Amino acid sequence: MPILGVFASAISGNLGLTVDYLVIAGGGSGGSAYGGGGGAGGYRNSVTGELSGNSSSAETPLSLLLNTTYTITVGAGGAAVDGAPGPERGNNGSDSSISGTGITTVTSNGGGGGGTNSSSIYNGKSGGSGGGASDGFGDSVSGGAGTTGQGGNGGGNPDNSRGGGGGGGASGNGSKPASDNGGNGANGLASSITGSSVTRGGGGGGAGYVSARGEGGTGGGGAGRSDGGGNATSGTVNTGGGGGSPHNGGATISGAGGSGVVIVRYAA
């Protein structure tokens, strides 16, 4: 939700304030029924010496005006799907942003939802990081595309595996399923913007058919399932992690995406 903040300086005579930021959007949810994992929320980072999304270089810090109100919006994770009455792709997460007077708005795009096992919706959705593809029943299907500088692509399914692909993450692309195993979600990235290193932005794991589930990527990605007895794991809150996909639909629920986070750091 939007948060309004007024940035002021304790140093008399300053005309502006240089601010580092970490802006992570909400993660996508996993698809139903042998589906792909959700993609992590877009990851944008300006801290020198760290990485931004898809392991790209850090961005330029913001120069803010003093005594000016800026709006910070934190994106929610994509809602879980249950595959009833029919197969459903996962839902995209919501965007996170920093906006206001005198700056170009910094927006991280919500993670893409995972695909599911229906011919028109096999493919993962595009987003900050892309959602993984589902079991394609013999067709070659693609993961969703990540956004340049924000996250990786979802894992595709080119080889008739019955498992789902892993969701893309802040570090790169989700993995393709191998045999009937689900693909793993891509790992997130670590940042020390708060003073200690925390990894965020992991992709969700794809469903396994009868073999191993896909694991969630480090940094909040939820795991898939490889049996019909339970729900997939949701992404962790305030990490933008993608949700996992369950073994089947109608009786089990995919993992929801984790909510995003916006962190700013400046010298008082």
Q: Kindly report, residue by residue over 168-187, the tens digit of the pLDDT.
A: 999 999 999 887 889 999 99
* Residue 21 lies in domain: 1-268
**Which pTM value belongs to this model?**
0.93
- Give the least confident one: 58-62, 71-75, 246-250, 260-264: 246-250
pLDDT tens digits for 119-171?
789 999 999 999 999 987 767 889 999 999 999 999 998 777 788 999 999 99
User: What would the DSSP string read from start to end of the chain?
Assistant: -EEEEEE--SSTT--EEEEEEEEEPPPPPPPSSS-PPPPPPPEEE--TTSEEGGGEEP-PPEEEETTEEEEEE-PPPPPP----SS--PPPPPPPEEEEETTS--EEEPPPPPPP-SSTTS-SPPPSSSPPPP---TTS-B-PPPPPTTT--PPP-B-S--SSPPPPPBTTBPPPPP-TTSPPPPPP-EEE-TTSS-EEE-PPPPPPPSSSPPPPPPTTTPPP--SSSSSPPPPPPTTTTPPPP--SSSSSS-PPPPPP-EEEEE---
pLDDT digits (tens, 9 = 90+) for 31-80: 998 899 999 999 999 999 999 999 999 999 999 998 899 999 999 999 99
Q: Given this model, what pLDDT does residue 4 score?
A: 41
Q: How many domains does the chain have?
A: 1
| Arithmetic mean of pLDDT over the chain | 90
